[in-house]
Structure 1
């Protein structure tokens, strides 16, 4: 069954990306894979400038022909919470975060390495809690004494709904990033964004400790083991063109962070 790919936008020149709602104590391990897919990747790093991709798309668009005006109106909109989430994501300009859960989900990486790495402060307060560290002369570091955590972001295709896979941003901590880095260095699973390579992801929390189970899945096993149709070349190219880049990162001005520090110290 053909899939409908929902057009996504980067947050360029808008209020930028707000990271995960709350930090996680991340741990994880991987299960060994006896054999890796034999095919290589036709792509290198796929971090694209979406603005350039949109410009290219506009250049190739033909003028509308007169007879198109007589065509029936396309079906738009929908009902239910699924339609609500899809239109919300398409209209907001913000990337949707991938969240691992207790059930295994298949993902496909669009990046062979992180497209964004940054430091993040987490301040317990009402309202906004996460703030990007300025690294140099950062008021939250220097004046409030808060230690930031490292955040690493990847573009992934989420197959939670196999009939409607979605591009999302998976923001992880160093533990998960190390697992993915090891896969990216292993000749059986490198690069991690190979066309014929997918991963199952599951998250398990016990006694306030979180483990991530990240296992390679061969393309040939997707249909039999997961009842998921592998992505075709054209579908992969469409997702590539919609990949997010570092412009999604939200950076608060230094004077606003100084105001936040005064609030913290006065509490």
Structure 2
């Protein structure tokens, strides 16, 4: 594979064992080079090149399911904000550029992906407990209903989320836009496009600029994990491309499991 010497990469290994040299975008020229190769959407790992195995970002992915939309995602985001405030976390929200909302929390890179993902699961379950008619953490789509899925598995290793300011591959070229908590209830996804974002950035600057100075203590969520385990509420399924993970329940679609159980 040929690339300019000034392109920076990090080698990562996927659950399948395959290796890849991932682009590390640190300069505008890197964006231009990738765009010249028809890259439209930029998705980022939650870890740094110096230690890809230890994320420094907890990601809360608010994903509306069929029958729900951006309005419901905003309602869930309000619950997320409330819980973050209660535990002393600073969350940095942005639109997904599609139908959902992402909230980032900077953490110390002291834990590997399974631990961070398990904390994200505990947090998602707390959101579900507070808004059970609106939120689901069910991994299997057939169990979600018309609710908003808080996708804890976006914190699993090798999962990426669209970067802030990245353009979506949509006809209206929406952008994944950082927003303030106080403006979130009133914005619409279509407010942020490749045409409108330059003026917004010129006026407001980078709304995520302070994230590296707002490091959150993951130990609060580790306490939640311990509480869940003591109450018998353990792991949840991983994505299908992962090997069987420690403590994971049987990774079988519920309807299929019922059919197998009904066989003579």
Q: TM-score range, shorter-chain basis?
A: under 0.3
Structure 2-normalised TM-score? 0.25
Larger Rg: 1
Greater per-residue strand proportion: 1
Structure 1-normalised TM-score? 0.25
